[in-house]
Amino acid sequence: MLDAVDTTMSDALVGRVLDGRYRVEARIARGGMATVYRALDTRLDRVVALKVMHQLFAENDQFVARFNREAKSAARLSHPNVVAVYDQGEDDGYVFLAMEYVQGRTLRDLLRERTRLTPAEALSVLEPVLAALSAAHAAGLVHRDVKPENVLLADDGRVKVADFGLARAAANLEATSATSLIGTVAYLSPEQVIRGIADERSDVYSAGVMLFEMLTGRPPYDGETAVSVALKHAHEDVPPPSSLVSGIPTSVDLLVAKATARDPDRRPHDAGAFLAEVVRVRGGLVMSDADDGNLTTLINRTLVVELPDTRTVGPNPPWQSGQSGQSGQSGHAAPPQPAFAGQPGQPGQPPRIAEPPEPPEDEYRRPHPHRKGWIAFFIILLLAAAAAAAGWWFAAGRWTHTPNLTKLSSSAAMEKAKAAHVTVQVGEPEFSSTVPKNAVVEQTPTAEHKVLRGDTVTIRLSQGPQLFQVPIYDPAGGTSLVDYKSELIAAHLNIADPPTTQYSPTVVAGNLISVDPAVGTNEKAGTTVTVTVSLGPQPITIVDYTSQPADQATSALTLAGFNVVPTQDYSTTVKAGSVISQTPSSGTGKLGDTVTLDVSKGPQKFKVPDVTSNLNDPQSWTSIQQATKTLTDAGFKVKVGASGRFGVVTKETPNGGTMQPLGTVITIYAQ
């Protein structure tokens, strides 16, 4: 909402017209929740600031519904120190707010330039901030995100507070991080850190931390992580500013200590009460020649800031009505004066009313002096009683406090509200994982808020926890873990980390085997789903069965999960039926892998030549020399068993014609 140099080289929204009305002219700033643009309202011909929510938020239906409700509440807040909300809408997936355009800069920009402010300057900036928060608290709104980035310092001297209701709209998002804290951690109150709740006193705490930073140039706590800073808010007291910067008055130290008390009950009960303390302390500051107690010095060096007039206190103090006053000679607003203090005719003293002259008495009709006295006495008594009754009514009698209706049934809430003299209006229901169904999950205004008798308290009933279905996956193993994790995130469910793993001969490594709870089961947001992911086929150690019986090797390898393929070959070294070789013979394999066994058929056999002679047929006679050569040429060895005088081979062992391995010794006999 502040005018800044547009560093956008290319922005899809610049030049577009949203909702047929708002022509986007330039990007101003970008934050954690939204991007802010300067735009022209073509219908009313005025410049506005458009706050366009980031897609993460715009795609969440629960956030958008709550955002719209909070925008309506913020739009009802009218105060000179509050950035006005004109409109809210949605166009082609862009959810936006149309707000007052404030040309200037933020308090954060000022602190970057100046580092720190004097006590008088810091309190003069804080007063209009508290005036804005006081108006919000009176309307039942809690800011929840008070920080220098949300304090706007306009070029024309105004101080305005922005972003009422946006932190509250984001606070109930259940799909983000499981435990995210809404609000800048440097300014979070202890109750926001510990219990995740915020009321008017939480805004007071944040304003106190902001005052500390204006005085010292740094927040009270730092740390390596946001969590460590948050824990310091919960468990450590904010140090006095004078411990870091000398010359800060004790009254200002005490002001910071009171606003930042860790116990909310020890703080001012709302921004209005804190404002009264600030006005009192600021009025008692001793000013130097260079510090006129207002923002004159600050104006000359940095910016112009217009402060509300705090010199008088009446039924509608200026810091609540938003009317601007004039500074006194000292340059700072005087503390509130007690009613009717001083002498008649002096400031704070009601004007003296002249008594009307008594009419001339008719001496013949003069009332009896005793009767006249009694009449005057009764008149005075009646007037005093009426004044007392009227005073009681306007001061206290017409006011009541909102009861705590949370977690009550709607009927019980209405009874309790009736007893507290307020009426109940039932708003839109909300999902809740902590409040039972049909019980009050939220009320506006919050409990113990001061309201007029007969005012309305809006309650929202719980619908119970929002349920989401466990997404489907391919049971045949076609869904990857990465894809299913995205499905779970979209369904607002968590995934067990690390996932369960299991070997599978059929499902590719990295794909899903099963999920628990089962597909289609309705679960609360954030429920953890356990997935079983395939590691692929299980690895198996390969044992070498070379030279061992083939039937035993086949049985063992098959039992281990391998597919065994046998081959056969002759071997002169491995006996028949045993394994000559194995492929692979070592290492690891997977279930279903193939192992080849080369099984021995024993040595190869050849036909033994028949070298015997028929003694009756001299033509067939074979000599020892001839028989030896024939057998040797065939690959056999020869041994002469017996030799007769004729040298004719008549017998051989093994017999001719039989099948024998090469190298077999053939014994021949001759006569």
Series of mean pLDDT values for 10-residue runs along the chain (671 residues): 45 91 92 87 94 83 78 84 91 91 93 95 96 91 91 92 68 40 76 86 96 97 86 93 94 96 94 93 69 46 41 33 33 33 34 37 44 61 58 60 91 91 90 89 87 87 90 91 91 91 91 94 90 91 94 94 93 92 92 92 93 87 92 93 86 93 92 85
Question: So what's the pLDDT on residue 62?
Answer: 76
Catalytic residue among 3, 109, 145, 291: 145
In a domain, 548, yes or no: yes
Angle at 33 between CA 32 and CA 37, to 5 degrees: 100
| Helix-strand-coil split of the chain, %, nearest 5 | 30, 25, 45
Question: From CA 11, how far away is CA 28, in angstroms rounded?
Answer: 11
Domain ranges, residue 566: 539-600
Whether residues 260 and 297 share a domain: the answer is yes
B/e letters for 171-203, b = 16+ CB within 10 Å, e = fewer, are bebbbeeeeebbbbbbbbbbbbbeeeebbbbbb
Closest by CA to 458, choosing from 398, 413, 421, is 413
Whether residues 55 and 177 share a domain: the answer is no
Determine how β-strand 528-534 pairs with β-strand 500-502. parallel
SS3 665: strand
Q: Compute the Cα dihedral for 278, 280, 281, 287 and give only its sign.
A: positive
Question: So what's the pLDDT on residue 117?
Answer: 96
In a domain, 31, yes or no: yes
Per the structure, the count of domains in the chain is 6
Whether residues 631 and 663 share a domain: the answer is yes
**Residue matched to tokens 């005025």:** 46
Question: So what's the pLDDT on residue 54?
Answer: 86
C-alpha 664, offset from chain centre: 88
In a domain, 56, yes or no: yes
Question: From CA 213, how far away is CA 401, in angstroms rounded?
Answer: 34
Whether residues 29 and 177 share a domain: the answer is no
Q: What CATH number does the domain containing 653 carry?
A: 3.30.10.20
In a domain, 432, yes or no: yes
Alpha helices (runs of H) in 311-407, residue ranges in sequence order = 318-321, 369-392
Domain boundary among 100, 125, 141: 100
Domain boundary among 69, 100, 131: 100
In a domain, 442, yes or no: yes
| One-character DSSP codes across 75-112 | HT---TTBPPEEEEEEETTEEEEEEE---EEEHHHHHH
**145 has catalytic annotation:** yes
Question: So what's the pLDDT on residue 591?
Answer: 83
Whether residues 471 and 451 share a domain: the answer is no
In a domain, 482, yes or no: yes
In a domain, 559, yes or no: yes
Q: Are 615 and 648 in contact (CB under 8 A)?
A: yes
Backbone angles phi, psi at 91, to 5 degrees: -145, 115
Question: So what's the pLDDT on residue 68?
Answer: 80
Whether residues 585 and 620 share a domain: the answer is no
Whether residues 197 and 307 share a domain: the answer is yes
In a domain, 337, yes or no: no
Closest by CA to 512, choosing from 504, 524, 520, 522, is 504
Q: What CATH number does the domain containing 189 carry?
A: 1.10.510.10
Q: Are 122 and 251 in contact (CB under 8 A)?
A: no
Question: How many residues are listed for the chain in this entry?
Answer: 671
Whether residues 471 and 496 share a domain: the answer is yes
Closest by CA to 209, choosing from 272, 145, 158, 285, is 145
Whether residues 227 and 245 share a domain: the answer is yes
How many C-beta neighbours within 10 Å does residue 357 have?
6
Whether residues 288 and 153 share a domain: the answer is yes
Question: So what's the pLDDT on residue 617?
Answer: 85
Whether residues 184 and 306 share a domain: the answer is yes
Question: So what's the pLDDT on residue 671?
Answer: 85
Give strand pairing partners of 590: 539
Question: So what's the pLDDT on residue 499?
Answer: 92
Whether residues 52 and 162 share a domain: the answer is no
Q: What CATH number does the domain containing 34 carry?
A: 3.30.200.20
Domain boundary among 305, 321, 337: 321
Question: So what's the pLDDT on residue 638?
Answer: 94
Question: So what's the pLDDT on residue 295?
Answer: 46
SS3 671: coil
